[in-house]
């Protein structure tokens, strides 16, 4: 496949200092981009909720990969739905407009699986994204991110602006967010198990009843998919990035406990929310359009994530 040549491109990566962003920069360099032409904007210098900052960030760029997001697990989504809606909508919609005005050659928007309806037939196909309302606990975040898909399609139609929209499934990997107030399920459970071990607990309380299923994509695989989309995909339709492998929360915590050698009892807190019942993506479009398939096996990825946390927890 002959795709977009990255060698001399000036590339802006929002969220580039984050756990996925570092991997994306690594994959960009492997694909031929020059590291000295990649710009990472930090929130302390660029508040992307402000149009002036978006204009400064987009100026002189050839490609923008928009990863920056205000994001977290069920707890944060319940606590701060207004912030999650406002921040993600304003960052994305203003940056897209600033990129269009600046003549940016290509805009890559990384969306979220939270945009899918609560009861989407499994595996989730991209054309199902508008067939219902998202799961309530993360709907404000999901809808804010989904609005960016509409904006990119509208700007392509009216202005011939080349923006693509990628939908990665739940991510995990080394350098993930392990903050108990805002982390997603895998880092949250790894930390919870480690702390239970350190205290000598015989029981491990876990939210929900264990029945929901999730699909997880290792951060390095996600980054590779994002860069492949950047190089080889130029269409208006959204594209899922995932593995097609679905695991229940019950099996997930059992696997984490086995890998971390925790032998206590799992206690399900059934008064706490489960979140969306099932999540698993149809990944055929990414494979067909730009040849992406995940390469890191789930247990291998979990082991790498656990090892990183144990080395860096203190």
Q: Is 116 a catalytic residue?
A: no
Binding residues for substrate: 192, 207, 214
Q: Could you tell me how far CA 289 lies from the centroid of its own chain?
A: 20
The residue from 46, 100, 141, 165 that is catalytic is 141
- Residues in the annotated binding site for NADP(+): 15-21, 145, 168-171, 184
Write out the binding residues: 15-21, 145, 168-171, 184, 192, 207, 214
Active site residues: 141
């Amino acid at each position: 496949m002959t795709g977009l040549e990255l060698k001399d491109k000036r590339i802006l990566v929002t969220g580039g200092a984050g756990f996925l962003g570092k991997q994306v920069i690594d994959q960009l360099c492997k694909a031929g981009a020059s590291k000295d032409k990649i710009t990472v904007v930090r929130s302390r210098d660029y508040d992307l909720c402000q149009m002036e900052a978006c204009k400064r960030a987009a100026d002189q760029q050839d490609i923008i990969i928009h990863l920056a997001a205000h994001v977290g697990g069920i707890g944060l989504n319940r606590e701060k739905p207004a912030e999650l809606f406002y921040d993600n909508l304003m960052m994305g919609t203003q940056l897209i407009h600033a990129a269009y005005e600046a003549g940016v050659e290509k805009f890559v928007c990384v969306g979220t699986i939270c945009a899918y309806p609560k009861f989407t037939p499994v595996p989730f196909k991209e054309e199902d994204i508008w067939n219902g309302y998202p799961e309530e606990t993360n709907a404000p975040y999901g809808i804010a991110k989904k609005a960016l898909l509409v904006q990119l399609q509208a700007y392509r139609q009216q202005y011939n602006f080349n923006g693509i929209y990628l939908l990665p499934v739940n991510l995990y990997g080394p350098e993930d967010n392990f903050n108990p107030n805002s982390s997603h399920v895998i880092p949250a459970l790894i930390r919870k198990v480690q702390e239970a071990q350190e205290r000598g607990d015989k029981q491990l309380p876990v939210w929900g009843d264990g029945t929901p299923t999730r699909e997880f994509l290792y951060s390095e695989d996600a980054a590779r998919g994002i860069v492949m989309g950047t190089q080889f995909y130029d269409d208006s339709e959204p594209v899922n990035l995932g593995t097609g492998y679905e695991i229940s929360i019950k099996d997930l915590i059992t696997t984490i406990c086995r890998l971390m050698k925790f032998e206590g009892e799992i206690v399900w807190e059934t008064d706490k929310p489960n979140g969306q019942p099932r999540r698993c993506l149809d990944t055929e479009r990414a494979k067909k359009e730009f040849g992406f398939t995940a390469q890191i096996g789930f247990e291998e990825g979990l082991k790498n994530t656990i090892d990183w946390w144990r080395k860096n927890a203190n």
